[in-house]
A and B are shown apart, each in its own frame.
Chain A
């Protein structure tokens, strides 16, 4: 955790967004919408919420972050680089042969990654297994938390609900789920493909404490995480409402940007828009 102001945290989120665009352009493939809309949440996680040491990824007192929706890995890689796990130049090796930054994250390849994901639905249960063990470490107040970032389309998967039931049964209060509620998946909006509402009621029925927040308001993200840690008798989930592709105007709200990267012209345009806050300030090259 660090003591950055909200303004500084927002700046971190912007840097993460720029890194995502650069990474995806260099890779020539990958997912745009999710990583961009998760940038604020990941800035909050890596620069305020999580307890970790980038120089000691195996530190035994660290919090655990599970990215269940593994395709969003560019945002995690960018946040990790910003946080000092590895040099930012390495971000440009995304998806290349021999890279530690695999297209979908692999634990064995990159220290700091806690699980291997990509196929959807298995992160919550792995997190539940970790939380289950941690819960039994001692009777003292929990000192380590397990955060799980899930997609909303991912909630179609049965494995998610198996894990939700298991966490509810075992009152895994040290698990904090964060759902990227951006309302899109590959074939269309979530409500067209497989409607999820009433999502809050679903999680509550499984024995979870639920909060709904604006996923782009970093203060709200931090406050929700604090509240979740204060819930001691049940697992917590934060439904974070987000705008897919947030930060790049021609990507926002468009589900077609779920699984494609920007090409060179688009990347240039996106970076310009991110740097100049969509034309609100003068760009450095103007």
Chain B
């Protein structure tokens, strides 16, 4: 099945929008479809884009103030009464600060609380390391009974939000602050738990999640100039991982690269490595932050500085591909 891509994907004037804005629209629509959807925010309504929902459904919006532990536990209480609560703050604070409350009152307690962590990754920019959450994927994927989704662009974020509103399970939705290119279209599929091959190739599998999928599309284009045909796979659902799609591609190419705007260890790449280690042990390169915190800077500047742009990744992959033989199953 092919995945429709934005034809302007590589253009200089490709449409760009912050992923969090797609969430804002998705939440509003979810609220229109189901009166049980409620929204709670820890004093960051505009920047997490809950403002659209709040304007339309002020009676269903709950201002919590700067109290992230209360944010998710009040939500768990509302879920006990049949509500579908979306909670939002910056990822550094939620799930950063309130991880245990999420563990106990949402995951173990099995309440369909949606944790929305906005402003994840280094592209948060000038606010600096304290606000650049890099460990949230690791924190949330390791919790039992937790769905983890990192949409690739604003268009997908809207779909992801609608899907999570009806999945009946505690879930984590990872959003970004800065505007990023739209690579999907209104007709592109999105289903929780599914990964999508965006571009086929035989030489290497590039697995992206969240904002890094677009970067890998850029990487693939650059590698093609050197005769390397990369297969780009978008993996918006980190948990549960779409093992079938990943395995099929890994078998085909024999080499796997993962990329995330997060710590290279413990998160998406590690989830893939764990899976392949038991199914098809093979060379895997995990691209992300190398066990360090971020810094203040401009978003684009930081992405480049930390080696997270399509260009930097292509540059890093050329020698890696030369020295890394393909894995073949004997």
Task: Tell me the A residues contacting B by CB distance below 8 Å.
Answer: 106-108, 114-119, 121-122, 125-134, 136, 158-159, 162-163, 165-166
Contacts and interface: CB of A to CB of B under 8 A. Distances in A.
A125 B78 contact: no
Contacts of A117: 104
Given A107-B109, A116-B109, A163 B81 contact: no
Contacts of B78: 129-130, 132-133
B67 A130 contact: no
Contact of B74 (A107, A121, A132, A134): A132
A99 B65 CA distance: 39
B75 interface: yes
Given A129-B74, A133-B83, A122 B105 contact: yes
Given A125-B77, A127-B77, A166-B67, A159 B101 contact: yes
A162 B67 contact: yes
Interface in B74-95: 74-83
Given A125-B77, A126-B76, A166-B64, A115 B70 contact: no
Contacts of A131: 77
A132 B77 contact: yes
A127 B73 CA distance: 9
Nearest to B109: A116
Given A126-B80, A128-B77, A159 B70 contact: yes
Contacts, number: 87
A97 to B, nearest CB: 17
Given A162-B70, A165-B65, A129 B76 contact: yes
Contacts of B76: 115, 122, 126, 129
A133 B81 CA distance: 7
B59 to A, nearest CB: 7
Contacts of B104: 116-119, 122
Given A107-B110, A108-B109, A119-B104, A162 B69 contact: yes
Contacts of A166: 64-65, 67, 70, 74
A159 B69 contact: yes
22 contacts: A115-B105, A116-B105, A116-B108, A119-B100, A119-B104, A122-B69, A122-B73, A122-B104, A125-B70, A125-B73, A126-B74, A129-B74, A129-B81, A130-B77, A130-B80, A132-B62, A132-B74, A133-B78, A136-B59, A159-B70, A159-B73, A162-B67
Nearest to B76: A126
In order of increasing CB-CB distance, the 7 nearest A-B pairs are A129-B77, A162-B70, A125-B73, A126-B77, A162-B67, A116-B109, A133-B81
A129 B73 contact: yes
Nearest to A157: B69
B23 to A, nearest CB: 22
A219 to B, nearest CB: 31
Interface string B50-63: 00000000010010
